[in-house]
Amino acid sequence: KNEVEQSPQNLTAQEGEFITINCSYSVGISALHWLQQHPGGGIVSLFMLSSGKKKHGRLIATINIQEKHSSLHITASHPRDSAVYICAVRDYDKVIFGPGTSLSVIP
Amino acid sequence: NAGVTQTPKFQVLKTGQSMTLQCAQDMNHNSMYWYRQDPGMGLRLIYYSASEGTTDKGEVPNGYNVSRLNKREFSLRLESAAPSQTSVYFCASSEARFGGSQPQHFGDGTRLSIL
């Protein structure tokens, strides 16, 4: 079993839909990151959180430490949100990356 | 502010050839990392440098060597390339070891094909 799992693996949505991407992990962590990788490859950090919820524009990230689960929500999705979303968990001496969720938003 | 710059962006090698991937960051970060990304798998750590003058093996170091040339630059060398090393390579940096209170910053990646 992988230490960090994401679901779904692939997701296609219509523009305007509410999107949820899930991340589950099996190790103790000090922080969890959500990253975005656009076609063409560049990776940018969206959120880093260790508890509760964070919001940035149309993106919301939540984490439940007890359940070892995090969700990334996208409200009013847009074709420019099409990308691979990567969950990564960090403890003191390592970062473990999930396999990513590929999102395609169709106009 | 360029952030993390990787060169080259693309490279094709023949089995057995050697090459060095270059990475430089202009954020005065202490820690730098090399990852590889393969289809269906998460980013995997090859080597990292927690601070200038130190390097450590990550999850998949075999077949690679690294040099932390100075605080800005961290290079990855393939001495004898193998088809299994076909991958996309990312360099990243962070202020503290594995990020601390700040996330890692990534370069745009190097797409490497070994024939």
* A43-48 average pLDDT score: 90
Residue-wise pLDDT for B40-78, tens only, equals 788 999 999 998 889 999 999 999 999 998 999 999 999
B41 to chain A, closest Cα gap in Å: 5
* Torsion (CA) A98, A99, A100, A104 in degrees, nearest 10: -160
**pLDDT above 70: residue B100:** no
**Residues of chain A positioned with their CB less than 8 A from the CB of B108:** 40-42
What is the amino acid identity at position B70?
N
Chain B residue nearest residue A4, CA to CA: B42
Give me the residue label for tokens 């690679």: B64
Q: What is the pLDDT of residue B29?
A: 93
Task: Give me A18's structure tokens.
Answer: 């509410």
Give A94→chain B minimum CA distance, Å: 6
Binning pLDDT at 50, 70 and 90, where does residue A94 land?
A: confident
Would the CB atoms of A41 and B99 count as touching at under 8 Å?
Answer: no
Kindly determine whether residue A48 and residue B40, on different chains, have CB atoms separated by under 8 Å: no
Of B38, B31, B39, B50, the closest CA to residue B94 belongs to B31
Beta carbons of A89 and A6 less than 8 angstroms apart: no
CB proximity list for A58: less than 8 A, separation 6 or greater: A74, A75, A76, A77, A78, A81
Residue A40 pLDDT = 76
Contact across the interface for A96 and B42, Cβ inside 8 Å: yes
User: Which residue in the set B99, B108, B111 is minimally distant from A95, CB to CB?
Assistant: B99
Taking CB atoms and an 8 Å limit, are B42 and A97 in contact across chains? yes
Q: Picking from A63-67, A94-98, B26-30, which range would have the lowest pLDDT averaged per residue? A: A94-98
Question: Are the beta carbons of B108 and A41 separated by less than 8 Å?
Answer: yes
Mean pLDDT of chain B: 92
Region A70-84 average pLDDT: 97
- Looking at chain A, which residue has its C-alpha nearest residue B110? A41
Of B42, B45, B108, the CB nearest to A100: B42
Q: What percent of chain A has pLDDT over 90?
A: 76
**Per the CB < 8 Å rule, is A4 touching B90?**
no
pLDDT at B101 over 70: no
